[in-house]
A = this chain, B = another copy of it.
Amino acid sequence: MKSARIAAAVEEFKNAFTNVRIFFATKCNNDPGVLRVLHSAGTRFEVASVDEIGILRSLGVPGQDMLFSNPVRAREQTKWAARAGVYRFSVDSPDELRRVADEAPGSCVYARLSTGDGSSVVPSEGKFGVDVPGAIDLLVRARTLGLVPYGITFHIGSQSLTPAALTAPLEAVRTVLTRLVDHGIRLQMVDIGGGFPAVYDEPVPSLAAFGRAAAAGTARLPYPVEVFAEPGRCLVAEAGTFRCRVIGVARRPSGWWVHTDLGVFNGMMEVLESSGELRYPIWDGRGSAARRSWHITGPTCDGQDTYARNVPLSADLREGDELFIGSAGAYTTVYASRFNGFAKPRTVLT
């Protein structure tokens, strides 16, 4: 992972999103070194579990600088988070609202709106979120439970390729804010979530384009609020490169295969998650002029361990050569298991 690249991405984000406070989506890369670089660059953090809070606290990040944006959490997770100083919790059900009121009394809550399909490469699927009346109901109830109706959030889906995906959710946010005025509730915060893309094998819209869409939407709100965002992938993906080793090559009826010590299960899981839609840039250390089309697969016995097909690499690739996988800083090591007995890759910061 390149520290300078992470810091540069944070700067780019700040410039693209004026007056937007950054909460890095910790799930995306929870390596302590990476989190330290982000913290130094001025980000705060979005968390989804007490484990993530624990890592951040060990790096000196106070709970006050974290947003607990996982809208459904076990009761003891809420309690523990509150003890660690976290005071802002997202909710998307009356059930969750009660848990927050019980375990973190007096906290700030922000309701999560459901969104339509945001044309994202790694889609969400209705797992979280309420509609506009549901959000209003939750925030009104929050007050009666002694909680602070603090804000509203949504998520357009990971690796979104459509800045306009922000427009409809921000319009729904406007409606919520407007209607809440009738209840005497004025929110402090609008959290536009994450999903901003990184470059893999093809160009993507600029962060500036997403920033403009966000600014246009928030400008239409009935009164000024603090605007938060939860970028993950766009801050760290391109800073990471997997450096892996060719353990064998083989010609098979299905083509030419290169086997590496990295695979789907110990780092490249998002290939499976995205049904192969996410295509990482891949190159080799041999760099021969003669090229051949290779299928690239991991070290396990599993048929699902193949993470790239028909990639042009050196024709004379052989055991011991190095293979490089770019844009590998997000949603890679965090998904790694030890399936078949192969270890998670080590993170090195440069």
Given known A-B contacts A74-B261, A319-B99, A254 and B114 have beta carbons under 8 A apart: yes
Binary flags per residue of A249-264, CB closer than 8 Å to B gives 1, else 0:
1111111010101000
A247 adjacent to chain B (CB < 8 Å): yes
Contacts of A254 in B (CB 8 A): 114, 125-127
A283-307, CB < 8 A from B:
295, 297, 299-306
Contacts of A92 in B (CB 8 A): 250, 252
- Closest approach, in angstroms, between the C-beta of A109 and any C-beta of chain B? 14
Given known A-B contacts A52-B341, A254-B114, A265-B335, A303 and B125 have beta carbons under 8 A apart: yes
Name which residue of chain B comes closest to A54, CB basis.
B341
Name which residue of chain B comes closest to A53, CB basis.
B341
Contacts of A245 in B (CB 8 A): 74
Given known A-B contacts A299-B73, A341-B30, A342-B49, A304 and B247 have beta carbons under 8 A apart: no
Name which residue of chain B comes closest to A249, CB basis.
B95
Contacts of A129 in B (CB 8 A): 252-253
Contacts of A122 in B (CB 8 A): 303-304
Q: A48-B341, A95-B319 are in contact. List 11 more A-B contacts (CB 8 A).
A: A27-B339, A48-B340, A49-B300, A49-B341, A95-B249, A95-B250, A96-B250, A130-B252, A265-B335, A334-B339, A335-B339
